[in-house]
Structure 1
């Protein structure tokens, strides 16, 4: 059974470029590799299709449906046989270290990035990047979503809205200067974009005023005499009231 599991795992690694898999400490993400595949990660669809669905490197979902040899299909069916259930490992007779020892027996230092390109330094760098990209696609490697991703996307959406608002505002200025232009360009040209609801416009206008106030105060604080004169003007205006 141990030999059967080793050969099946080797087949999956070769066919799908799966990682061997590593043991995780307490508190680490519930990611798996080939050796740590669980009962629920593997679904069999007769006559010979295996469906793999699990969280791989960097918690990126790996999903693939692949046709395998009939012997491999039969092996996995045996590995999933009752009394095994959800949560139980498929390869319960195989360890990551044992599989890695077997892999290293084929070639010392074997790695997906091993290469010996010929040519200039520039050509070697290109060859490395091309090979790295090919391996990344094959192994389903993707950039992990950072914790600040949502905040960054929200900022980009706000910037987009701000640009849409500026375009709409300038169109309104055009109308104020020449109302007849509406007839020439049509009502649709001057309509407000759907993303600009009235509540957002109000908040945005207030933020623009506040931003302008801060910039003005910063300039005044850099010029004490100018600031003093400004305060005197404010007092004069209050007295005039």
Structure 2
């Protein structure tokens, strides 16, 4: 069995000249499939082009809460008939930069529009939540048909209430020395709801922090997950890959 990187920004400019090498490195380390989350309207076409160039790369159409100024629902819709587009997002709420109440309201409005689009199209959501767990939970509980993944799960216990409909993306943060909360909550997550991701080029796992993150480092996340859950690497690989395929139906 191979690993699926369920969240990797391969459309980032830092990969422009090394993408073939990055994908080869990943494949050599057993990371065979990749999902690019749509974060910005301005780069969505690039994500689509990459996914349609490489058989083992897929993408999602969405707008990150930091990029909502350019949100265009009709433009998002224009990508949804593409077989390589298998999800909506990444979308969600991010209060880390202390937005005003007006800015929070706009984030919620754009988030809700993407939730409604995902329900309409029966596509999973890739959700970004930072310092906004309570508001995110309130919104998601009001949309009973919504489903997907909480990307880069922030270890908020209240978000485990969503485990009947949502998966939990675990990345390099799990390997950080200050990841106490995530380490403690990991065993409380249902095994059939765990996903592996890198969020590359960000959040490079230990011991490579400070360098460019790559999908190949999914193996480090799997190793740490196996250690903490008292499982073998093979068991973690099997269950997370099967989980990803159960969520993202378009994966081949």
TM-score (norm 1): 0.20
Q: Which has the higher helix share?
A: 1
The higher relative CO (CA closer than 8 Å, separation ≥ 6) is in 2
Q: Which has the larger radius of gyration?
A: 1
TM-score (norm 2): 0.19
Q: Which has the higher strand share?
A: 2
